[in-house]
Amino acid sequence: MNVSDSQLLVGVRRGEATAWESLIRRYEGRLQAFVEVRLSDHNTAQDVVQETFLGFLTSLPNYDEQTPLESFLFAIAAHKLTDALRRTGRRPALSLLLPTESGGAPEPAGRDRKASSLARSAERNTVIERVLGECMRGLVQSWYSRGEFERLKCVELLFVLGWSNKDVAEKLEISEQSVANHKSFVIQKLKAAATTARLRDVEWSQLAGDE
């Protein structure tokens, strides 16, 4: 029987081991591929995926089911990937597209952090993730359909791997101005999406990097 994500979530919330195992089987491979292609390290990627599922359990009480489960898991994986990239000395600009106070999935309420504050923070972060993620998804689909592979590669290197403009220009054998133009175009599109959704206090300065 093909069980939906919503049905799996009901089981996970009830503490059913079979539901949790099914959820892992459904998404583990895709998450592993997403992380491993960016880290080029199988073992570290496995660790990141495990941290992603743990982060999901931690975040589950504040999970808004209007957000697709797949999007939520990949958002957490992006945070964990960001941490892994930082540990290798790379500049992970992706974290600025998916911001949280801790740099990862929402953490449990502690002595100095009330549950209501955490809930508001998690809700705001989920909205930001959804708006900016949908904007990026639309851009990527548009570029792919039009065969704009230079821009696709440029955005991957800039915003996922955190490369500098100079390094991207050398890798793709294009001018630094072309790289800066691609970056500026994406940032302006993200800002427009944030403005339309009335998002405030989104940090853009580090995303702009070395323009």
pLDDT at 116 over 70: no
Let me know: does 180 contact 211? Beta carbons within 8 Å. yes
The larger pLDDT score, comparing residue 176 to residue 103, is at 176
Let me know: does 74 contact 49? Beta carbons within 8 Å. no
Tell me the one-letter amino acid at 210: D
C-alpha 97/C-alpha 208 separation (Å) is 12
C-alpha 162/C-alpha 30 separation (Å) is 22
Question: Which residues, other chains included, contact 140 with Cβ-Cβ below 8 Å and sequence gap of 6+?
Answer: 152, 155
Q: Output the pLDDT for position 200.
A: 65
pTM of the predicted protein model: 0.46
What are the tens digits of pLDDT across the range 50-75?
988 888 887 787 787 778 888 888 88
Let me know: does 26 contact 8? Beta carbons within 8 Å. yes
pLDDT at 207 over 70: no
The packing angle between helices 69-87 and 5-13, to 10°, is: 70
C-alpha 67/C-alpha 101 separation (Å) is 20
Segment of 8-17, 56-65, 122-131, 199-208 carrying the highest mean pLDDT = 8-17
Q: Output the pLDDT for position 91.
A: 55
The larger pLDDT score, comparing residue 45 to residue 107, is at 45
CA angle 106, 130, 152 (to 5 degrees): 110
Average pLDDT for 23-30: 92
The larger pLDDT score, comparing residue 63 to residue 121, is at 63
The packing angle between helices 176-196 and 165-172, to 10°, is: 120
Q: Output the pLDDT for position 199.
A: 67
